[in-house]
């Protein structure tokens, strides 16, 4: 299986966002839940397409950067993090948010940057 190092963080983010989206049904506007599920489909699709289309690895890197920026600048995400530990529900959502928007994207970006560096030193 090629590009496994890229597939795992994409699937990890997708699972985290999917579970978080399910937990937020009825708590946030439906458009946000729908948007989350669309992102999940994109991430899963990308995880499988990068084995066939190698340039899609760069799309994943850009999406990882955008995920971090969008979460860090979202008032709702910042408010949720301030409430970390206040209830099991909020803490679970926060952990899923941290995994889906930070941990897995950072892992992906790490592999992406080192792949670019490795290619430049080889050529």
| Rounded alpha-carbon distances, angstroms, from residue 1 to 7, 8, 48, 112 | 10, 11, 10, 17
| Rounded alpha-carbon distances, angstroms, from residue 38 to 31, 68, 86 | 10, 18, 30
123 has pLDDT over 70 = no
Give residue 57's pLDDT: 94
Give residue 121's pLDDT: 79
pLDDT tens by residue, 15-67: 999 999 999 999 999 999 999 999 999 999 999 999 889 889 999 999 999 99
pLDDT tens by residue, 93-111: 999 999 999 999 999 999 9
CA-closest candidate to residue 37, choices 23, 56, 55? 23
- Token pair, residue 100, equals 């889906």
Phi, psi of 25 (to 5 degrees): -60, 130
Give residue 24's pLDDT: 96
CA distance linking residue 18 with residue 40, whole number of Å: 6
48: Cβ contacts below 8 Å, ≥ 6 apart = 7
Give residue 15's pLDDT: 98
Could you tell me the pTM of the whole model?
Answer: 0.90
């Amino acid at each position: 299986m090629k590009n496994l190092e890229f597939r795992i963080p994409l699937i990890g983010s997708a699972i985290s966002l999917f579970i978080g989206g399910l937990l937020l049904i009825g708590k946030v506007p439906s458009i946000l839940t729908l948007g989350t599920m669309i992102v999940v489909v994109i991430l899963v699709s990308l995880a499988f397409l990068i084995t066939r289309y190698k340039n899609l690895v760069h799309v994943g890197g850009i999406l990882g950067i955008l995920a971090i920026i969008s979460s860090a600048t979202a008032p709702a995400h910042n408010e949720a993090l301030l409430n970390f530990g206040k209830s099991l529900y909020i803490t679970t959502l926060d952990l899923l948010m941290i995994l889906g928007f930070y941990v897995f994207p950072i892992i992906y970006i790490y592999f992406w940057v080192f792949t670019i560096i490795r290619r430049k030193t080889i050529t």
